[in-house]
Structure 1
Amino acid sequence: MKKYLACFFSFGLLISCQTESKLTFEPTELLGENCADCPQIVVQIPNALDGSAVSEAINRSVQEEIISILSFTDDEEIDNVNKALESFTDSYKELKTKFPDEVPWEAKIEGEVVYEDENLVTLKLNSYSFTGGAHGYASTTYLNFDKKSGKELENNQLFDDFEGFIEFAETQFRNQEEIPQDQNINATGFMFEGDSFHLPNNIGYTTEGLQLIYNQYEVASYADGPISLVLPYTDINPFLKNKVER
């Protein structure tokens, strides 16, 4: 009986530790001003609540991304999300007074936690904005955080063997996009700068694998849309600092 109790206690402790290792988030929604001459703005993001260093880093980085998407003025210090919403709104109102037929602007930002383990947490932000012209612009942003150091990670900090990963990723990219391995990376119409393969600006951990996503215009035309490559952890663990067992 004691043996069974010990096993039960150990199992309960394991579940408790796994639960405690997870960060706590609450969904947060921010809306733009509601008026006839106001752009439509909807921001839905997870807000980290733990008060830890990594939670503070997450909230700060998400705020910075929102500010960069919505800010339209350079003559003032926009240091919080509310000011960014005001900047987007005021910019449209000013344009509307000069051009009454201006099509309404809009901005939508949706964020979610797409991966978390004891060492790392990844957030994904999908955004869409329309500020006139032929079409709007959609993009995906990945934010990866080291839970122990409490810092956001640059792409190269995700790897033990960064150069080796680049070579592997290029091979897989060529296979997926049917680019012959012995031809120029732009042979089939891509637009890699300098005719050389490079990783995208956004790389993120997901439950399916590490996702590489080239946003519109990054290596292809707008019409081609975003280009995504998902690499299973079983294939890339040798290159990663934070290895994932599946």
Structure 2
Amino acid sequence: MKSKLTYLLICFILISCNNKDSLSFEPLTIATESCDNCTSVRIEIPEATGKTKLSKTINSALEGEIIALLNFDEESNARSLEEAKEAFVYDYKELTGKFPEESMPWEATIEGTITFENKDIITIKLESYIYTGGAHGYGTNRFLNFDKLNGVELYQEDLFKNLDDFKIFAEALFRKQENIPAEGSINNTGFMFESESFYLPDNLGYTENGLLLFYEPYEIASFADGPILLTIPYSDANTFLKYPQQP
């Protein structure tokens, strides 16, 4: 009996360890009803299944980012994606009630995709387009990185052994890619870094091709220039990463 219990315990431990890194998703779509000349919202994201800490962390992080994207007046009390969708439509109706000339319907499209996953890390990109009047809408990307083993979201400072060292390295690569002289202001060729100093973008994400630095339109250049991307192969980035990857 004792040996049987020991065997069962060992099996349980092995199964638990094997399942620790397991993660599955199912598609989640939230959208307004389709109609002509109506404000529209469409959200399509991967929803992590199960009740693990990692699943809850991923779903909570995605929800928080999307609620923020749909928050037009910064006073919304939305606590779910459904509430955020309804608040976006309500804000449009409120605005057109006060300013009937602002009658162009609003639009919000948000799509989530997994850009990288292995046993240690998963990165999800949220790509969005939001139009709330004016000459054009605004497209943006958010990269969310997660530690699969510990079930936590990773912020910029969590990704590197030494953030300052990586910034110096990234600046050299950025100058080379954009043909900016090694000496002198980072804005010599027309970029718009504040304080004339290089800084990392708000968005960093793991991809199959390497670590992606993603500067949004307006972040360091004009809207017409679009996003500025720098992909650093893992063979170069691994020296600085807390989570190095196979090249």
TM-score scaled by structure 2?
0.88
Q: Which moved more, 1:88-97 or 1:223-232?
A: 88-97
Matched residue type, 2:167: I
CA distance 1:75–1:230, change in 2 (3 Å): closer
Q: What's the CA shift for 1:21? A: 3.1
Paired AA for residue 63 in structure 2: Q
In structure 1, C-alpha distance between the alignment counterparts of 2:196 and 2:76, rounded to whole Å: 39
Q: Distance in 2 between matches of 1:74 and 1:103?
A: 21
Structure 1 pair 200–18 and aligned structure 2 pair: CA distance change class (3 A): farther
Q: Distance in 1 between matches of 2:199 and 2:47?
A: 32
- With over 3 angstroms needed to count, the CA separation of the structure-2 counterparts of 1:101 and 1:131, relative to structure 1, is closer
Match runs of 1:40-51 below 5 Å: 40-51=40-51
Matching residue of 1:95: 95
Whether the 8 Å contact between 2:21 and 2:148 is mirrored in structure 1 is: no
Q: Is the 8 A contact 2:204 2:211 kept in 1?
A: yes
1:116 to partner: Cα distance: 1.0
| Percent of aligned pairs with the same amino acid | 45
In the alignment, residue 95 of structure 1 is paired with which amino acid?
L
Q: Which runs of 4+ in 1 moved over 2 A?
A: 17-22, 33-38, 72-76, 94-98
**Counterpart AA for 1:104:** P
5 Å-filtered alignment, 1:64-213, equals: 64-97=64-97, 98-100=99-101, 102-213=103-214
- Give, as a single letter, the amino acid of the residue that structure 2 aligns with 1:180: P
Alpha-carbon deviation of 1:101? 5.6
Counterparts of 1:76 and 1:41 in 2: how far apart (Å)?
16
The C-alpha deviation readout for 1:87-122, integer Å capped at 9, x for no partner, is: 110111222333156211111001011111111111
Partner of 1:217: 218
Is the contact made by 2:21 and 2:149 (CA closer than 8 Å) also made in structure 1?
no
For the 8 Å contact 2:102–2:133, the answer to whether it is kept is: no
Q: 1:64 aligns to what SS in structure 2?
A: helix
Corresponding position of 1:10: none
The verdict on how the C-alpha distance between 1:134 and 1:240 changes in structure 2, with shifts beyond 3 A counting, is same
Distance apart, 1:60 and its partner CA: 0.3
Consecutive unaligned residues of structure 1, counting only runs of 5 or more, are: 1-16
Which residue is 2:12 aligned to?
Answer: none
- Asked if the contact 1:71–1:85 (Cα under 8 Å) also holds between the matched residues in 2, the reply is no
On the 8 A contact 2:40/2:108 being kept in 1, the answer is: yes
Instruction: Say what the alpha-carbon RMSD is for the aligned residues.
Output: 1.8
Aligned residue type for 2:170: A
Conserved 8 A contact 1:119-1:148:
yes
Q: Secondary structure at the match of 2:243?
A: coil
Distance 2:207 2:144 in 1: 11
Deviates more, 1:162-171 or 1:34-43: 34-43
Distance 1:241 1:31 in 2: 38
Asked if the contact 2:192/2:220 (under 8 Å) is kept, the reply is yes
- CA change 1:234–1:18 in 2 (3 A) is farther
Structure 1 residue 227 corresponds to structure 2 residue 228: yes
Q: Distance in 2 between matches of 1:76 and 1:91?
A: 9
**Helix, strand or coil at the partner of 1:239:** coil
Alpha carbons of 1:19 and 1:75: their partners in 2 closer, same or farther (altered >3 Å)? closer
Kindly indicate whether residue 243 of structure 2 is the aligned counterpart of residue 242 of structure 1: yes
The secondary structure found in structure 2 opposite 1:108 is: strand
Displacement, 1:163? Answer: 1.5
Q: Give, in whole Å, the separation in 1 of the partners of 2:74 and 2:184.
A: 44
One-letter code aligned to 2:48: A
Q: TM-score, normalised by structure 1?
A: 0.88
Query: Following the alignment from structure 1 to structure 2, what is the Cα–Cα distance between the partners of residues 38 and 51?
Result: 37
Match of 1:150, as an amino acid?
G
